[in-house]
A = this chain, B = another copy of it.
Amino acid sequence: MSSRLGKLVERLGGQLIGDADIEISGIASLSDADASHITFLSNPKLRTQAAQTKAAALIISSADDAAIGADYQGARIITENPYAYFAKAAQLFVEQRATPVVPGIHPTAAVHPSAQVASTACIGPHAVIEADVVIADHAVIDAGCFVGRAARIGALTHFYAHVVFHGACEIGERGIIHSGAVIGADGFGFANERGVWIKIPQTGKVVIGNDVEVGANTTIDRGALEDTVIEDGVKLDNQIQIGHNCHIGAHTAMAGCVGVAGSAKIGKFCTFGGAAMVLGHLTIVDNVHVSSGSMVSRSLLEPGQYTGFYPLAKNAEWEKSAAIVRNLSSMREKIRELEKTLKSLTGNSNE
């Protein structure tokens, strides 16, 4: 359950200053850590707090270490990116602590005889695995999951309880799908004939790369004719909706409640704040960052940060400003009249 500090540094790198034989039993925040913990400083504003931590060891950048100087005397690991180092260290301690996965198929699971389930994979109680599904080594399909006909699940991928992964969809290795996510439901496609909607069959699938995480109750629709594609390393939070035929580039991350309408093409290394929305058929290039609550209603062809939400105010103030927003064109008209009057007064001296 614990690790020598020296062994940690051998595994994860960084420069160790202090006693390599200190035993570390876990990770904690600057304020909660005690002499059995390792902690980290990634926000320079917390330097004072870091100098006073009771942790056995501190993960820190060389700049912050120099700034704190002699105020902190404990062991430390100097690294370029303390937050990433902390993430990796935390993974090690959690792995040590977690219940080992027991391979095999729970007797209450309904697995079709034609499904190929690796002997090292684990299928939980009441899971349903349909015909021709392929589940690779060390994949874990928890209780009550549904995996549709001919779906493919890569090695070490983990579906938490109650994931729905529909027929023909694919996910790569080391993926994580959280509970209640639905991958591969029909896209929202209808033709309108005299007011009545005629369903367009959705015959594409969802293709998900490696190292993708999908949050709880998030939905990713299958393509209409072509596929919906989620590239490697994409991270989607909870309650997100991805429409049919979307393409999301590698390492793009979206916070909770984001919605992406059909056929949007989103680049790599983008981020979307919570509840951001993207209209259909738009193109967003690499390295675009959209703020929370913002509606993307046109293609974004230049990298950068984009925002668009109404600023919050006390309700009475909002009522005033909203009333003016509704009549902005009359305000513009008044300004034009003022300009005209003034121009006639000054004999066009502004020109």
Contacts and interface: CB of A to CB of B under 8 A. Distances in A.
Interface of A: 27-29, 32, 81, 83-84, 86-88, 90-91, 93-94, 99, 106, 108, 110, 124-126, 128, 142-144, 146, 148-149, 160-162, 164, 166, 176, 178-180, 182, 185-186, 188, 190-193, 195-201, 203, 213, 215-217, 219, 221, 225-226, 233, 235, 237-239, 241, 243, 251, 253, 255-257, 259, 261, 268-269, 273-275, 277, 279, 290-298, 304-315, 317-329, 331-332, 334-335, 338-339, 341-342, 345-346, 350
Given A256-B241, A342-B342, A188 B235 contact: yes
A128 B146 contact: no
A313 B295 contact: no
Contact of A315 (B90, B275, B306): B306
Number of copies: 3
B188 A238 contact: yes
A216 B182 contact: yes
6 contacts: A87-B190, A91-B198, A178-B186, A261-B274, A274-B279, A311-B326
B311 A203 contact: no
Contact of A94 (B94, B198, B201): B201
B293 A292 contact: no
Contacts of A306: 312-315, 318
Contacts of A296: 312
Contacts of A84: 191-193, 198
A332 B335 contact: no
Contact of A318 (B29, B279, B307): B307
Contacts of A238: 182, 185, 188, 219, 221, 241
Contacts of A297: 292-293, 309, 311-312
